[in-house]
């Protein structure tokens, strides 16, 4: 269910990360190599990026497959950034939310993506949804499971949690409420990346002095890619990657 990627590094065209690599996100939309659930990611896509001197990210999202969007090819060729988050979507269930359901979701300085699915959606998440203030539920961009996961994460961020803590606690709560869910979450503020591995694949690549990449799967065959173990929290900057095991929720 979906492929996503975040990158921090030198400013360069978005396409150098998303399109040019032999197995970049563009190709992963129809030919992923490590996707465990689903085979084609054609239910929407999006990319978010940061411009120098502006903490609020820009986004480009569409409801259809990325390979059918000729405007994206132009955008990826000329827009440059040193920080991005992008995703291609395979929807959990059919819906009418269009591009509003496509990651990255955004608020304030953050960009977010969810690779996975909430088991038993939507009934399984009713309790956690009820725990959010009504104004935050009404502000959700879409009615899909990923939008609710983002609302839960965003609530914690705005309460003051660090990015890694916000993801880890949200995953623990969701896993306890909707056992069997797949909860690979990806978050960036343009300066650092936080991600969880819970039921699907995640890899990272460190290219000292150039870029740090965190992705559902490698975009090339560089031997420096490292697979992140399941049930792990990853926090990365341009210079460092830290892995911390995630605890299973208690009964």
Catalytic residues, by residue number, are 2
Nearest CA among 7, 12, 57 for reference residue 211: 7
Q: Where are the alpha helices (DSSP H) in 90-241?
A: 126-130, 134-138, 145-158, 163-177
3 state SS of 128: helix
Q: What angle do CA 103, 105, 110 make, to 5 degrees?
A: 125
Burial 147-163 (b: 16+ CB within 10 A, else e): bbbbbbbbbbbeeebeb
Distance CA 143, CA 66 (A): 22
Residue 236: phi and psi, rounded to 5, are -135, 150
Q: What is the DSSP letter of 236?
A: E
């Amino acid at each position: 269910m979906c492929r996503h990627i975040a990158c921090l590094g030198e400013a360069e065209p978005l396409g150098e990360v998303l399109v040019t690599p032999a197995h970049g996100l563009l190709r992963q939309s129809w030919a992923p190599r490590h996707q465990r659930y689903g085979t084609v990611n054609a239910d929407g896509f999006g990319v978010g990026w940061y411009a120098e001197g502006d903490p609020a990210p820009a986004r480009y999202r569409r409801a259809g497959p990325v390979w059918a969007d000729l405007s994206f090819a132009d955008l990826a060729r000329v827009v440059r950034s040193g920080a991005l988050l992008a995703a291609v979507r395979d929807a959990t269930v059919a819906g009418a939310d269009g591009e509003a359901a496509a990651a990255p979701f955004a608020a304030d300085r953050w960009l977010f993506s969810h690779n996975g699915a909430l088991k038993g959606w939507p009934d399984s998440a009713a309790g956690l949804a009820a725990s959010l203030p009504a104004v935050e539920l009404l502000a959700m961009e879409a009615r899909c499971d990923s939008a609710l996961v983002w609302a839960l994460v965003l609530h914690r961020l705005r309460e003051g949690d660090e990015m890694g803590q916000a993801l880890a606690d949200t995953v623990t709560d969701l896993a306890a409420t909707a056992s069997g869910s797949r909860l690979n979450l990806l978050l960036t503020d343009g300066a650092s990346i936080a991600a969880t591995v819970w039921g699907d694949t995640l890899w990272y690549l460190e290219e000292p002095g150039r870029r740090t990449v965190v992705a559902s799967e490698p975009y090339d065959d560089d031997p420096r890619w490292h697979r992140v173990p399941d049930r792990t929290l990853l926090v990365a900057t341009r210079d460092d990657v830290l892995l911390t095991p995630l605890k299973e929720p208690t009964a």
